[in-house]
Chain A
């Protein structure tokens, strides 16, 4: 063992105060370790939303795409649509109507502009059998910004798909762990986690851009300094004290974690049957964390993050601040984008996030008890009106959580409940939206190498947003009530229900065999969660059977 007894310890102690410094403390060279894990699973997935629009000539229950507004050029061309042949767009007056769509063939027709000039669109030619997706909303009064980003022939090659029920999943990860002891009696260290499982839609990682699944993504990366009397400070990308570090009541020590396990990695996106609000899912945005020593069974923690971005200055290095810039405290479209912040830009409205936690752990007659109460709060970014006014259109994060668990003779039972202003993506809700409630309950039993367990989660959330921001007037406008089922798909509560059973068999320390079953459902009245089926499907579900092994070292 390599120790350097510092001759200057006494001097240093005198400088810092003898109470702070452990006398004759020794300094150790840091130890650097490489660890990692490999999880390999087989999954049988029975879920809805596994197929895309079946194609053909009908719209199969999709709401018909809106005809573009003749004056503004704004329209509903966000969905894939069938464009007939022989369509023409006539040129229009400057700043006004640019084109009159001539119906032809099936669906809404739109030609492909070959020349785009503000205010005039001359010489448009016929598009031939184009399936086009219009990406961005056009600027008002012109078709200049309207681009057709994807196109394929009407035969539908590559546009429609059916998916199977069997798949494998491989989740490798590598960690570099540093630990050391400073001369003054502090311990210190750090960790960098490299994950090779870029799950599209990850909240803060910006992983929704098109990357290969095997692309390395840095998960958590932080440095810590700890002292036995003063507690620990962590800084970097890490969960907050209520976002995973000090929570109680989440029983995930069986299978892959039950409803908080890997089942969601087997999911296909369409029905929205994915994304968690469990502990650890709030995101590893860059923060500073303080956690106290334990006093009479109690320890406390606080954490602070200036915004929702990971790795500090995220999304800002472009020449102008945009919605994707984590430092933007007001941006156009905040209301629409930040509600479900998994957007392409990774726009996040969270500002000044702070978390406080108090935890008690003790033992009573052989029963180990852990209980946590805490709060997650944050401000919100403002939306910008056309006139440049900053309008507060969203609620800040405002979440209370209590949780407790007890362990006796291998049995563990726990529950956690959290309520407040958050949506299912841990995003900000629009003002006037409902608060969310989530309850999870779990139990497990460990006997020798076997662990069995079950957990469930249920919650009610805002499904979309009850109000839209009108940039022209600078006001938040309540959406009109639906006149027919499904015509306002943003106006319902979302209910989620999940349950699981699972088991592990430990072959060796760090090596498990796993079997698990998870059921999860989403219900949202009026929102189509499966566009491949006729009508408005207000329910999405998934049954996932998982078998496999995992290894950590």
Chain B
């Protein structure tokens, strides 16, 4: 009678000894609790809902990346940061969804430099949820002069952000 339990325990112990296990969240287990089922059906994590009578709303903070939090879509925010990571970062405001980089000169073209501003526009992961504006200057006559960036640059940067956001999301979904 106890063999299945023993086998399961041994297997689990063996696996636990290996690294690489992922903690399974409470929301990944089934429930017959009416409240949890309704909330899950509506896409709300039951551990984040309810009235806090004691303590702090830690889950909310975790999802939003810390106190103050990200109030825009986390995938887009993360993807934008990663895509613009080759720029030196000047400022990033997760509440407003604004990322402003400093000037950056590609090693292959030292006579021109670029600066980017990115806006993550909302909480939804959608193709118009991010705007990237690239500024370009060239070094002429001993000073930096504004030049228009190629018209395709902005949309190419946005496409890269969206592609990266899609990757991040599918990774998260797959690991659920």
Query: Could you list which residues of chain A lie within 8 angstroms of chain B, going by C-beta atoms?
Result: 1-2, 28-37, 39, 171, 173, 175, 177, 179-181, 189, 193, 195, 219-220, 224, 226-232, 239, 244-247, 250, 252-253, 257, 279-281, 290-296, 299-302, 304, 352, 354, 356, 358, 361-363, 366, 368, 375, 377, 379, 451, 504, 506, 508-512, 550-553
Given that A31-B52, A35-B46, A295-B15 are known contacts, is A247 also in contact with B30, CB under 8 Å in the complex? yes
| Assembled-state Cα–Cα distance A552/B34 (Å) | 8
Identify the B interface with A (CB < 8 A). 1-2, 4-5, 7-9, 11-12, 15-16, 18-24, 26, 29-44, 46-47, 49-59, 61, 67, 170, 173-176
> Is B35 a contact of A354 with CB atoms below 8 Å?
no
**Sampled A-B contacts (30; CB under 8 Å):** A30-B55, A31-B55, A33-B51, A34-B50, A36-B35, A173-B35, A175-B36, A220-B33, A229-B16, A239-B30, A244-B30, A244-B31, A245-B30, A246-B29, A252-B37, A292-B12, A294-B22, A294-B23, A295-B18, A301-B8, A356-B5, A363-B170, A363-B174, A368-B173, A509-B39, A509-B43, A510-B42, A552-B46, A552-B49, A553-B50
Q: In the bound complex, do residue B35 and residue A35 qualify as a contact, i.e. CB atoms below 8 Å apart?
A: yes
Task: Check if A175 sits within 8 Å of B51, measured CB to CB.
Answer: no
CB of A538, distance to nearest CB on chain B (Å): 31
- Given A231-B24, A506-B42, A512-B41, decide whether A292 and B55 contact each other with a Cβ distance below 8 A: no
Bound: A247/B170 CA distance, A: 23
A219 to B173: give the CA distance in the assembly, Å. Answer: 31
Q: Which residues in A have their C-beta under 8 angstroms from that of B39?
A: 509-510, 552
Instruction: Determine the chain A residues whose CB is within 8 A of the CB of B50 once the complex forms.
Output: 33-36, 175, 177, 553
Contact B51 A279 (CB under 8 A): no
The one of B5, B51, B57 that contacts A304, using a Cβ cutoff of 8 Å: B5
What residues on B are CB-neighbors of A504 within 8 Å? 41
Q: In the docked arrangement, what's the CA distance between A30 and B59, Å?
A: 12
A292 in contact with B16 given A300-B11, A509-B43 (CB within 8 Å): yes
Q: How far is the CA of A29 from the CA of B61 in the complex (A)?
A: 14
Beyond A229-B23, A231-B23, A354-B4, 20 extra complex contacts between A and B, CB < 8 Å: A28-B55, A29-B54, A30-B55, A31-B54, A37-B35, A226-B23, A227-B23, A231-B12, A292-B24, A293-B21, A293-B23, A294-B21, A300-B15, A352-B1, A356-B7, A362-B174, A509-B44, A510-B38, A512-B41, A550-B34
- Chain A positions within 8 Å of B67 at CB level: 1
Q: Is A34 in contact with B38, judged by CB distance below 8 angstroms?
A: no
Contact A35 B29 (CB under 8 A): no
The CA-CA distance from A239 to B49 in the complex, in Å, is: 22
Assuming the contacts A31-B57, A245-B29, A294-B21, asked whether A550 and B38 have C-beta atoms less than 8 A apart, the reply is: yes
